[in-house]
Every structure is written in structure tokens, then in C-alpha cells.
Chain A
Amino acid sequence: MTDHNNGETWFTCPIVSHDEGDRITLAYGEGGRLSRKLIRERLLSRFGNDHLRQLGDAALLPTKSGQIAFSTDAYTVTPLFFPGGDIGKLAVFGTVNDLAVSGAIPRWLSLSLVIEEGLVWSVLDRILDSVQAAATLANVSIVTGDTKVVPRGAVDQIFLTTSGIGEILLPAPVGPVGLQLDDVLIVSGPIGCHGAAVLCAREQLDFDPTPTSDCAPLTTPLVALHAAGLVPRAVRDATRGGVAAVLHEWADASHLTCVIDDASVPVGDEVRVICELLGLDPLNLANEGTFVLATPVGLVEQTLAVLGQHAVTARSAIIGRLHPRRIAPVTIVRAIGREVVLDEPSGSPLPRIC
């Protein structure tokens, strides 16, 4: 059996069918001709740059400062597509944001795909298109990567892993160990959007309008803060576990207590209504384009002014401050004026009727 490929004639094994129509097959993960075909046709065509075209094991990258930030994350979200985003967009912005909140300008990403045999090509294409668009928006390059195809059932459709490198802008945020008494806690926008969006999409809860993920890159406003000499004490994007998880982490690292004010926490109308209906707390829901920031009280006004100039952080708000350690690491002041414990989230939030 011959195959006419680019004008050349190849003898190919009749057992391996390399044209499965609309679905990927295990053969594309074997590392041979079909793997190269996959990389050439679907990856290089989208992300092609000099580094990636080398197709080496690692990309050798020049830096200006001596310090780089390096981060990695795996993305396994279901459903793959949800209002406001998809697994591809998430994989780019998630790692970009990990670098940005560490005080770096994200530059280069690796992209690893583990694909379940039988995944429809058009789904893969849609995800890769999204990765491409996100990388462009975030001003990062995909410089290296890997693809594997695994038997049905070994993964749930597709898993993505991105590792990222960014150039540290000195001075970088000290981090939660450096938090001080009276430092002010700010969130960069309305919370809980991503968690609500994915939950509703996964459980097929039909709300109109449906909640939309806040998935977005956070680099620009953070770089702007640095440029204005307003380096925060600590910054963290509030992903799994939501704002509550970040506050608990910070309380733990600093041995102080985060006290927040219920009325000050910004929550969008849709997220609020859905949380009321399902018995969820927005503070426990994931965000993918929203950070928590701690800054000395003297820098608060200017910090909010800078954040206000960027669309992704335009609705930043003060939610609380750091207090001397109480028995509870995180507390919240309710409408009645009483301070109650805000517990650390564990396990994914489930809708309830009770």
C-alpha cells in the first residue's frame, strides 16, 4: 500500500490506518511519523516560532535579569468548554497568572497534551485555537511541548499541562511570610465567577444569564503596579478554594488573622443569586482572573488608582486587613456587626437544598 505524501511515495503498513476521519487514534502518540504530522499540522502551524521549530527537548532562552520565575500546572477541567472559557484558555492564563503574581513578566510556556483515544479532531482543534488566542493575548510563546495519546478511559478526554517561565521584575512581592499587621487586603474584582460557571456547566443547571468564567491574564495591571513603585506585600490568584483558601494560606504563613467585611466583598449579581439558590459561598468558589493582594496601608489609595486603570482589575475593592493573631485564622464581620469564623474550604462545593 502506498501513500502519496508531499509528492513522495511511501510504503506503509496496511494495519495502521492513519486516516481515522474525525478522531485521534493511539497511533498519533507513538512518536513516529504520525506524531510529527500532528505536531507539524496542528501545533507548529499555530505556535510556530524559532524556538519551537527547533523541536528540541528544552528551549534555550535568553534573559535580561538574572532571575526567572518558573511555574507548572496541569488542567483537567470538565466540561472542556464552559461560558467564558475552555481548558485551553485556562491552561495558558492559569500558568501566566501564576508567574504574574510572583512578580514576573510571563514569556515562554511549554504545552503538554495527554489525549484520550477517540477524541474528535474538531474538539482538539477548538482547544488548540483557544490556546493560540490566549497565548497571543497574554504575550507569551509556546516554545516546547509534548503530545501523548492514551487508550480510552486512561484520561477524561484531554489533560493539558503548561509550564511557564517569566522574567522577574525586582523587587518582587515578599509573599505571605512578609505580611504585616494592618496590611490591607484587596480583591481585584467580583469573585466566584469561574467556579459558578464550571459548576453550572457541569451540573447542567440552566440559568439565564448563565454565569461566565472570569478567565483572563493578570499581567498588565501587576506590571503597572511595579512600574509605579507599588509592589504589593503578597499577591495570589484565587483559584481552587477561592478567596477563602488564599486567606487561610496567608494567615497560616504570617501567623496573623485575616479579618474581612462581608459587605465589602464584591460579588456579581449572577454569582450572588446562584450562590443563594444553591447554598454556596462565593468566597469558596474558584477564580481564574481575579487575585487577592495585600499591601501596606499607606499604598492602598495609589494601588487602587492603578488597578482602576485596567479593565481586568477595574472593580478592585478593599475587603479587609491583617489583625493580630486570634484563635481563628480567618474571620468575617457579618451585617449584624458580629465577627464569625470563616472556615477553610475542603472538597469541591456541592449545591444543596438544605
Chain B
Amino acid sequence: MKFVDEYRDPTLLRQQLTLLRQLATRRWVVMDVCGGQTHSLLRHGLEEALDDCLDLVHGPGCPVCVTPAEVIDDAVALAFRPNVVLTSFGDMLRVPGRSGSLLQARAAGANVRTVYSPADAVCMAEKEPNVQFVFFGVGFETTAPATALAVLQARQLGLTNFSVLAHHVRVEPAMRALLELPDNRIQGFLAAGHVCTVTGFAHYSQLVDEFQIPIVVTGFEPLDLLNGLIECVRLLEAGSPGLRNEYVRSARPEGNPHARRLMDSVYQVSTIPWRGFGLIREGGLTMRSNLAEFDARQQFELAASTLSNEGDCRSGDVMAGRIKPSECPLFGKACTPDSPVGAPMVSSEGTCAAYFRYAKPVEICHD
């Protein structure tokens, strides 16, 4: 596959890995804020290969993990309503709310359908006008344009049976919130390449200046990740924080104006709760009031989302980079992918699940 295979070339990967190891003179603490990057680092063995060289921590980059349990409860409740079909990305199906997951709800008779794209939910709504379709819209700014487009398409088509239960989150405020923590130890950021493809990254220079920290826009393939880390380490070694783009083929400083226009016409920036974190200032997107007929919260009279205590789950500490999943007392014992205590163990992109899957110790004899 073009623009995929080249970035997995073993020779280039080994070359860049060697270069990175040569460059790093200290075990710098670098954070990624994207579940996809976490997944890729672990799956391709990069994290393990760099363990003695860098301290890679994984931030709240999994939108599935930061969706409050109460919002999942709202989705489950809607799915049980007569004449309502709840459509969702597959990612959300296994994540438990306070009273079970969407998958469990489906087994109990709730009407839940997986879709690959919100546009598919709009098509379904068009074909089945007597059924109310709700799309469960989670995700960062990468996904928000898609759900915004779905709303606008539904409006153009004159649909009266389509709405979105939205809980979109914004990455940059979360990065700021992490940097503002008194015990913050993050020294460099890999910025989420696909979020930046939409939002651009010029505005990250504020964070760079304010916190004197390098931020490198990074992609997802192993070679992209290595290039991002190399650039980040270069800046750290030189003591000169800066903003760099190592995902040039996709991310531009101004982002995609069409995508941003779609988002702006449907959503407004707001302060919303993140599971495991609490309220993040301007950390989310909620639907504009002039589109109330497409807002499931308005249509079905749901209360605004809140947060409750989640007992022993230390997802907040994990996502802030304070502890590695393996340092959580529940990890691998009371909390496993089959019996998760918190969201990061359920979602395939959750840090805890990724650690459980890929980072179990393996005794290796290198050839």
C-alpha cells in the first residue's frame, strides 16, 4: 500500500532507531497524546526497543477512554428506547458505562448498529424514515468533521429522524492541562498528526513558548514515529524548544480549512468532563443551539454530561504520565481486558489495554 509500506521498511526503521539511540544522551520523558500512536509504538515494538533510551509516556489520546461513563449510559438508554437505533463506531461497543456496555445492551435486546462512518448512519436514516437514528459521535478533532458533515447532510436531506449524541474532545487543551499540573514531568510532546491535519498546528507555538517544551507533529507509521522522536530528542538535546512538523505529507500549519468550517458550523468550543481527568477547560465540542433538532441531547431530553468517581481505576494517573499501566496495583490482576475496571483497559487504543497486549515481558535471544 502506497504511503504505508514505505514507512514500515525494516532497513529504514533500523537505521532511524540507531540514529535515535545515538542522539539521546538522557532518558527524556516524551508523551504522545494519540491512541493511534500509542497503539503503533507498542504494536511495532518501538516502545520496547527504546525502553532503555527514552521514557515514553502515553497521554489521554484515546477518545474512547475519556468519554464519561455517564455518556455511555445515555447511549445505552437511547438504544433501549422503542423505535430508536443507536449507531456507533465499533470502538465504543465494549467500553462499560456504569450499567454495562453497548455490546451488553445489544445482547439484551437494545438496537445497536456498528458503522464505519457517520455518513453510513445518515444513509440508514434516509432509507428507514420511520425509525429514529442516533449517531454516537466520539473522537478528537480528527473525527469531529465527519460527524459535523453527517449533521449538515441530514439537514440538507431534510431528515427528521437523525441526531448525534456528541462527545468530541480537543487535544490542545488537554496538553495544556497536563503541562499545568504541579507534578508534570513531560519534557516533550509528539503532537497527534491527524488532529493537526484538521486543526493545523501553528497555534501550538503558544504552548512551546509558555512552557518551553518541544512539540513535534508526528504521524503513525513506525517510521513517522521514529522521525518524530528523533526531532523531539534533537530539540531537547540542544536545549532549544520549538515546534516542528515531521508529518509533512499530511499536516499543514493551517490545517484543513474546509474541515474546520464544517466543524465550526456545527460545534462550539466548551468545557466538558473527561473520564479520568475531570473538566478540561475548552476541552470539548458541543452542538450549536441552532442545530438542536440534530442534537440527541435536545431531542431526547438528556441531562448534560457529568462525571462520577470510578473507584480504584487509576486511569487519570496513567493518562497524565504519572504511572505506567504496569505500576497500577490492579493491572493484570483485578483489571484485564476481559474484566476491565476502567476505560483504558477496554478500548483497543487504551494505554492499559495496549500495555497488556504488547508489553508483557518476553525473554528474547536476539539473533
Contact = CB atoms under 8 A, between A and B. Distances in A.
A touching B, CB within 8 angstroms: yes
A73 B190 CA distance: 50
Interface of A: 203-205, 263, 272-273, 276-279, 326-328, 331, 334-341, 343, 346-347, 350-354
B257 interface: no
A263 B87 CA distance: 36
B338 A346 contact: yes
B176 interface: no
19 contacts: A263-B10, A272-B1, A276-B4, A278-B116, A279-B348, A335-B9, A335-B10, A336-B17, A336-B45, A336-B46, A338-B49, A340-B48, A340-B358, A341-B357, A341-B360, A350-B91, A354-B36, A354-B63, A354-B139
A183 to B, nearest CB: 18
Contacts of A273: 1
A101 to B, nearest CB: 28
Contact of B348 (A204, A338, A354): A354
A337 B349 CA distance: 23
Contact of B45 (A205, A276, A340, A351): A340
Contacts of A341: 357-360, 362
Contact of A328 (B13, B46, B347, B362): B362
Contacts of B94: 347, 350
B35 interface: yes
B127 to A, nearest CB: 11
Given A276-B1, A338-B49, A353 B143 contact: yes
A351 B357 contact: no
A327 B139 contact: no
B93 interface: yes
B364 A339 contact: yes
Contact of A336 (B13, B139, B363): B13
A354 B62 contact: yes
A350 B1 contact: no
Contacts of A338: 44-46, 48-49
Interface string B346-367: 0111000000111111111010
Interface in B30-46: 35-36, 42-46
B116 A205 contact: yes
A322 to B, nearest CB: 15
B139 A353 contact: yes
A338 B359 CA distance: 12
Given A336-B45, A340-B358, A354 B222 contact: no
Most A-side CB within 10 Å, residue of B36, B63, B357, B362? B362
Contacts of B1: 272-273, 276
B239 interface: no
A336 B63 contact: no
A352 B363 contact: no
A346 B340 CA distance: 13
A336 B40 CA distance: 12
A351 B360 contact: no
A57 to B, nearest CB: 36
A352 B354 CA distance: 15
- For chain A, what secondary structure do more than half of its interface residues adopt (helix, strand, loop), or is it mixed? loop
B33 to A, nearest CB: 13
A-B residue pairs, 9 tightest by C-beta = A338-B45, A350-B90, A343-B357, A351-B90, A354-B349, A352-B91, A335-B10, A336-B13, A334-B45
B44 A336 contact: yes
B205 interface: no
A352 B120 CA distance: 14
A283 B27 CA distance: 35
A340 B63 contact: no
B89 interface: yes
Contacts of A327: 360-363
A309 to B, nearest CB: 32
Given A273-B1, A328-B360, 18 more contacts: A204-B120, A326-B362, A326-B363, A327-B360, A327-B361, A327-B363, A336-B10, A337-B366, A338-B44, A338-B46, A338-B49, A340-B42, A341-B360, A343-B358, A350-B90, A352-B91, A353-B91, A354-B62
A203 B114 contact: yes
B145 interface: no
B8 interface: yes
B362 A331 contact: yes
Contacts of A353: 89-91, 116, 139, 143
B26 interface: no
B14 interface: yes
B64 interface: yes
Nearest to A203: B114
A336 to B, nearest CB: 5
Contacts of A352: 89-91, 348-349
Nearest to B35: A354
A347 to B, nearest CB: 7
Nearest to A273: B1
A346 B363 contact: no
B96 interface: no
Contacts of B4: 276
B38 to A, nearest CB: 10
Contact of A340 (B36, B91, B116, B362): B362
A336 B14 contact: yes
Which residue among A204, A334, A336 has the maximum number of chain B CB atoms within 10 Å of its CB? A336
Contacts of A346: 337-338
A351 B116 contact: yes
Contacts of A339: 45, 362, 364
B336 to A, nearest CB: 10
Contact of B91 (A203, A276, A335, A354): A354
Nearest to A350: B90
A326 B358 CA distance: 14
Contacts of A326: 362-364
A334 B90 contact: no
A337 B361 contact: no
Contacts of B361: 327-328
Contacts of A354: 35-36, 62-64, 89, 91, 139, 347-349
A350 B114 contact: yes
Nearest to A351: B90
A205 to B, nearest CB: 6
A166 B181 CA distance: 68
Contacts of A276: 1, 4
Contacts of A350: 90-91, 93-94, 114
B168 to A, nearest CB: 13
A201 to B, nearest CB: 13
Nearest to B361: A327
